Structure 1
Amino acid sequence: MTGHWYALVTRSRHERAVERALARLEGVETYVPLRRVWSSRVDRRVQIYTPALPGYVFLRAVLWPDIRASIKRTPGVVAFVGCESQPARIPPEQIESLRIMLACSTDVEVLTKYEPGQPVQITRGPLAGARGVLIRTNPSRHRLVVRIEQIGLALSADVHEADVEPLDNASSSRLQSDRTLCYSRVR
């Protein structure tokens, strides 16, 4: 699939409906990060999937005028994330890191505020390949935070100190990009 990744703001609890509608468009790939949580029912507890980043849908596409118009008309879509009329591009490494963390980690926590730290990459274990910012929580464990600056949200998971290595300056500069956040209304 060609094109760039973008984030859309959706109406509350419309993430999956927007994903299904956009998936019907030719040349559009969608992704809604989901996490497993326990939910109590009257007679039992069950695991369900809920959006890890409520109110957001990611899509990869070449934003030709006809594709963009179709996205704008999709029920439940509120806005592209971006400044003025140009949607913000999400680096593919950040989408891949989200997928790795959500596929392998049972203790994923959504953070709306995060501490600055050292950019790192996980080298071993089920989260191998994920990149993010490391926050020390105790002497033997670390908290890895993968943030998507364009939407101002982050995910975190515990990783062992031996499974982490610092990123070089070129890779870390992409993780420490400008934190400016604004929305481009699509209607």
Structure 2
Amino acid sequence: MLTSTQGSNWYLLQCKPRQDERAQINLLRQNYVIFCPQIVNQRLIHGKPHHSLEPLFPGYLFIQLSRDDKWAPLRSTRGVSRVVDFNHGPAMVPDDVIEHLRSRCFKPSETQPPHPFQPGETLQITRGPLSTLEGIFLTMLGDERVMILLHFLNREQPVRVPLTDIERPWTHL
């Protein structure tokens, strides 16, 4: 959810190299409100057009915080390098800049039905080498893939899975 809350402002976070996605996942798990503006990039691969979602500002995320929010965990959140600062304080990003970015960047089409999964919901992988494993839904990655958190090999691992390869697990009553 990206709605503005009273008394909060937007700030800029720098992510560790190639760990934008990891930072997003870990911040969402801690219930922070974040925004990562994305654009659709078109490339030719083997002579065919290929569309992909890419961050507008690779290596950076916007986060909404108030003075009362917990700032200390940001320093130790995996994937986060630092809060960007200017003049010995965190760099505040005006709300109108965030609204402008939202209006200009990729938004899922209003004609498409919203995906039925909620963050934190348990899902089961139904196809592929990880079939039968269950994970926790984290976020959508475009229109066709999801990020789920799997627990295997004694650790939690975020995994990208096609939307068509997951479903809610069967419950036996």
Q: Which bracket does the TM-score occupy, shorter chain normalised?
A: 0.5 to 0.7
| Structure 2 residue 52 is matched with structure 1 residue 48 | yes
| Structure 2 residue 46 is matched with structure 1 residue 14 | no
Aligned to 1:95: 98
Q: Identity of counterpart residues, as a percentage? A: 25
In 2, are the aligned partners of 1:7 and 1:81 still within 8 Å (CA)? yes
Aligned to 1:61: 65
Q: TM-score, normalised by structure 1?
A: 0.49
Q: Which runs of 5+ in 2 are unaligned?
A: 108-173
Divergent runs of 4+, >6 A = none
Equivalent of residue 83 in structure 1, options 79, 83, 86: 86
Q: Deviations over 1:17-46 (max 9, x none)?
A: 2112111223x2101111100134347331
Higher RCO (Cα < 8 Å, 6 or more apart): 1
| Structure 2 residue 39 is matched with structure 1 residue 35 | yes
How far apart, CA to CA, are the structure 1 residues paired with 2:100 and 2:63?
15
Aligned to 1:161: none
How many residues are treated as equivalent by the alignment?
A: 102
In 2, are the aligned partners of 1:15 and 1:55 still within 8 Å (CA)? yes
In 2, are the aligned partners of 1:5 and 1:60 still within 8 Å (CA)? yes
In 2, are the aligned partners of 1:16 and 1:32 still within 8 Å (CA)? no
Q: Deviations over 1:114-165 (max 9, x none)?
A: xxxxxxxxxxxxxxxxxxxxxxxxxxxxxxxxxxxxxxxxxxxxxxxxxxxx
Q: TM-score, normalised by structure 2?
A: 0.52
